[in-house]
Amino acid sequence: MSVTIQLNKKKSILFSGVFGPFGVDDEYGRKENIMELFHNQVTKAQGSASFRFHHRSFGLYFMAANLDTDVDVLDFPSKKRFIKEIKKGYDAVGISFIAPNYVKAKEMARLVRLHAPDSEIILGGHGAAIEGVEELIDCDHVVKGEGIYWMRKYIGQNLADPIVHPAIQSTEMQKIFGIPVPGPTASILVPGVGCVNACSFCSTSHFFGKKYTGYLHSGKEIFNTCVQIADERGTDTFFIMDENFLKDKQRALNLIEEMEKHDRYFMFHVFSSSETITDFGIDNMVRLGVQFAWIGFESKTDQSAFEKNNGISPKQRVKELRDRGISVLGSGILCMDHHTPENINEDIDFMIDIEADSVQYMLFTPLPVTALYKRMKKKGLIKMDLPFEEWHGQKMLNWNHPAFPGDMAEGIINGAFKKEYETNSSMMYRVIETAVRGHEYLNSIENPSRNFQKRKQQLHKKLKEYSIMLPIVKANAVNDLEITRVKQLESRVTALIGKPSFKQKSMIGAAHLLSKYWNLRLKLVGDAIQPKTIFTTFKHADRQQGKMPIKSFEVTEKLPEALKNFNKAACISLD
């Protein structure tokens, strides 16, 4: 009898991200490894103009929403908060981590064994690809790849149950010049994981077996999911967390048809490789409502050529997208095999010359499971004794590059970010310029379709919101060139949306005050910001009643315990 009860009992699960503080030098992490996308690897040299956004550990919520059992998700905990949570005695504790957070995951597993010896430990996320991780960390299961189906199997759930998409925001905190971006932030959409292109360095493609695992299979399914989430969250904008969303061309075209059929036009931010864009078509991207595209241009030379960029002019690609109002984040890789101190500037300048809205420079970092890692390891080039905390690609190389010994790579990457900023101005300036270019393009179309009319209205609204930032950009300009650019742009903005109203002028005044406060804060206490701890409960009973399974409450720890001994001044909570 007792066995039957045991078998029928639903497992209680805790999923946790790694503990903070993040982006500080301590025994578990490094100051370069901050928990932000833009300030970590895109706008880091842009001072107060840097985009300061926090993002949740989306995979955990996605798994939680799809399991027929009680699941709690703990995001950005302190160590103390994590211990408090595991003491509740879950049947299983799932820890999600990436390679640079290996030591944190190891410590968390140790804490589970100590405080919750009856809980099983499941390791997942990209850190699970570390060779021999099952021996290195005391755990019960390691999930190397897709997680929803693995977890369903683990709890004995039918794998064919429909996929439920939780309604979550793509960013928690969004500030530029210390000014909160108004309105609800975009929602996250995960149509699938993985990418078939298998570029040699790419973690995500290799981790998911160089194939695509779809969760939302048709344009109709995506449209219906968007409607549900948009109505719940009050925003029609989505960040699509899918490595190469446009690759499934038919699905994306069907999504356009659905939007046109229902006269409901969502807006999307996407990752896309360049060859996929060629195949999908730029005007189709406008019809789809793409407002932002992240494209890997990687390097200009033939020696590093990736098939995805063959025969495509990156500069031309960026121009045609920005001319249609689509902002581009272009990424480039530094310190590749063929680079030397003599030729590396060619690639730094190549990324500047494409004139994207923003550029990510990343050091060539062979990460476990990738073809690049296997190749480098075979040659004995990987620095196997370099702690994983350093494997984040923003400071040092994790392999022995004969041309860049010592700390040369750090100077190169930091110099690249600075030069890109000084030459092309702030990301905020460029994003506004892209919106202006897109608006002008749509104005120039005679007899626009209903879709294009809608897209024009959306850009008009966006430009009205963004234009408030122009005087702030001017006041904080990096150099005279940026001031001149802003002045020229101001007249184009006025031609499109008119002069600022009284309300807009007051908003500009308030924005100036906030940016002054922010500049002072940066000077006095530095730029470190810690994400809030978020605790979310997914109740099985809600799911059975057909409710959206997300019931959440949030816990904010103003100052994580570990920081008290570290650097009080650098980590004042902004919220």
Q: Which does 296 bind (CB under 5 to 8 A by kind): ligand SF4, ligand B12, none?
A: ligand SF4
Q: In the set 33, 197, 304, 458, which binds ligand SF4 (CB under 6 A)? A: 197
Q: Which stretch binds ligand SF4 (CB under 6 A): 199-207, 227-235, 368-376, 484-492?
A: 199-207
Total number of residues that touch ligand SF4 (CB under 6 A): 12
Cis previous bond, 366, omega within 30? no
- In the list 202, 267, 351, 363, the residue contacting ligand SF4 (rule: CB under 6 A) is 202
Dist CA 518 CA 264 (whole Å) = 38
Maximum distance among all Cα pairs of the chain, rounded to whole angstroms: 80
Residues near 116 by beta carbon (within 8 Å), at least 6 away in sequence: 86, 87, 89, 90, 93
Hey, which residues between 301 and 360 contact ligand SF4 (CB under 6 A)? 308
For residues 325 and 435, give the distance between their C-alpha atoms in angstroms, rounded to a whole number.
5
| Binding of residue 101 to ligand B12 (CB under 6 A) | yes
Tell me if 398 sits within 8 A of 391, measured CB to CB.
Answer: yes
What is the chain's alpha carbon radius of gyration, rounded to the nearest angstrom? 24
41 forms part of the interface with ligand B12 (CB under 6 A): yes
Contact 360, 368 (CB under 8 A): no
From 17, 69, 28, select the one nearest 539 (Cα to Cα).
Answer: 69
Give residue for tokens 């446009």: 246
**How does 24-63 read in b/e, with b if 16+ C-beta sit within 10 Å?**
beeebbbebbbbbbbbbbbbbbbbbbbbbbbbbbbbbbbb
Task: Give 271 or 421: the residue with its C-beta nearer to ligand B12.
Answer: 271
Residues of span 290-309 touching ligand SF4 by CB under 6 A: 296, 308
Residue among 204 and 453 whose Cβ is closer to ligand B12: 204
**Least gap, CB of 213 to ligand B12 (angstroms):** 7
- Out of ligand B12, ligand SF4, none, what residue 198 binds, judged by CB under 5 to 8 A for its kind, is ligand SF4
Q: Name which of ligand B12, ligand SF4, none residue 199 binds, using a CB cut-off of 5 to 8 Å depending on partner kind.
A: ligand SF4
Q: Is 467 in the site for ligand SF4 (CB under 6 A)?
A: no
Q: Binding marks (x or -) toward ligand B12, 232..271, rule CB under 6 A?
A: ---------x-x----------------------------
Q: Which of residues 375-414 bind ligand SF4 (CB under 6 A)?
A: none
Residue 99 binds ligand B12 (CB under 6 A) = yes
Binding segment (CB under 6 A) for ligand SF4, from list 162-170, 196-204, 216-224, 515-523: 196-204
**263 three-class SS:** coil
- Measured from the CB of residue 130, what is the shortest distance to ligand B12 in angstroms? 8
Whole-angstrom Cα distance, residue 195 to residue 201?
13
Q: What span, in angstroms and rounded, lies between the C-alpha atoms of 555 and 420? A: 39
Residues 359-398 that bind ligand B12 (CB under 6 A): 367, 392-394
Of these partners, ligand SF4, ligand B12, none, which one is at the site of residue 127 (CB under 5 to 8 Å by kind)? Answer: ligand B12
Cα–Cα distance measured from residue 252 to residue 210, given in angstroms and rounded to the nearest whole number: 21
Cα separation, 207 vs 68, in Å, equals 26
Reported as half-sphere exposure (CB side, CA atoms, 13 A), residue 151 has a value of 34
Q: Which residues contact 33 (CB under 8 A, 6 or more apart)?
A: 22, 23, 40, 100, 389, 392, 394
Binding characters for ligand B12, 59-98, by CB under 6 A (x = yes)? x--xx------------------------------xxx-x
Q: Which helix (H) or strand (E) holds 214?
A: strand 213-214
Pick what 57 binds: ligand B12, ligand SF4, none; C-beta below 5 to 8 Å, kind-dependent: ligand B12
Q: Which of 205, 365, 398, 434 binds ligand SF4 (CB under 6 A)?
A: 205
41 binds ligand SF4 per the rule CB under 6 A: no
User: Binding residues for ligand SF4, per CB under 6 A?
Assistant: 195, 197-199, 202, 204-205, 243-244, 273, 296, 308
User: Binding residues for ligand B12, per CB under 6 A?
Assistant: 15, 17, 22, 33, 35-37, 40-41, 55-59, 62-63, 94-96, 98-101, 122, 124-127, 129, 143, 146-148, 150-151, 190, 193, 202-204, 241, 243, 367, 392-394
